[in-house]
């Protein structure tokens, strides 16, 4: 992948992860966290190390939230003798995507090197 395509894929992955978190918080009635998750999307366009680190930290917290939610819902469904395997698989996948987004964001604050044209 070229630098521009790679950067677009990185931004898309991070924005998707943040939007999924925003939807999760919205469904839970945690409106201040919806605002935070949406606002963090702006950091994907800031070419500073601190922005990448803040974004990575937020996405790591998001990963923990997905895993916490998976555990809580699985526990609830198990106590009701309802199946929970698919729920755990889906939320674990969302947590994995969010974790990958965090690792990608960790190094994304540095300015992107552009190829020189003569």
Q: Which residues of the chain have pLDDT under 70?
A: 1-3, 107-118
Domain ranges of the chain: 3-106
Q: Which pLDDT does position 111 carry in this prediction?
A: 47
pLDDT of 117 reads 56
pTM over 0.85: no
In sequence order, what DSSP letters do the residues of the chain get, joined into one string? --HHHHHHHHHHHHHHHHHHHHHHHHHTT-HHHHHHHHHHGGGGG--SHHHHHHHHHHHHHHHHHHHHHHHHHHHHHHHTT---HHHHHHHHHHHHHHHHHHHHHHTTTSPPPPPP--
- Contacts of 74 by beta carbon, 8 Å cutoff, 6+ apart: 84, 87, 88
| pLDDT of the residue at 44 | 86
At residue 5, the pLDDT reads: 85
- Predicted pLDDT of residue 43: 87
Give the pLDDT confidence score for residue 113 in this predicted structure.
44
52-74 pLDDT per residue, tens: 999 999 999 999 999 999 999 99
């Amino acid at each position: 992948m070229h630098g521009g395509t790679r950067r677009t894929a990185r931004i898309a992955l991070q924005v998707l992860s943040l939007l999924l978190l925003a939807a999760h918080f919205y469904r839970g009635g945690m409106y201040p966290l919806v605002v935070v998750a949406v606002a963090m999307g702006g950091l994907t366009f800031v070419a500073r190390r601190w922005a990448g680190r803040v974004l990575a930290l937020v996405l790591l917290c998001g990963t923990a939230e997905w895993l916490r939610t998976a555990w809580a819902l699985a526990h609830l469904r198990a106590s009701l003798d309802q199946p929970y395997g698919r729920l755990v698989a889906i939320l674990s996948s969302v947590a994995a995507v969010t974790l990958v987004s965090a690792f990608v964001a960790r190094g994304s604050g540095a300015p992107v090197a552009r190829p020189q044209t003569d």
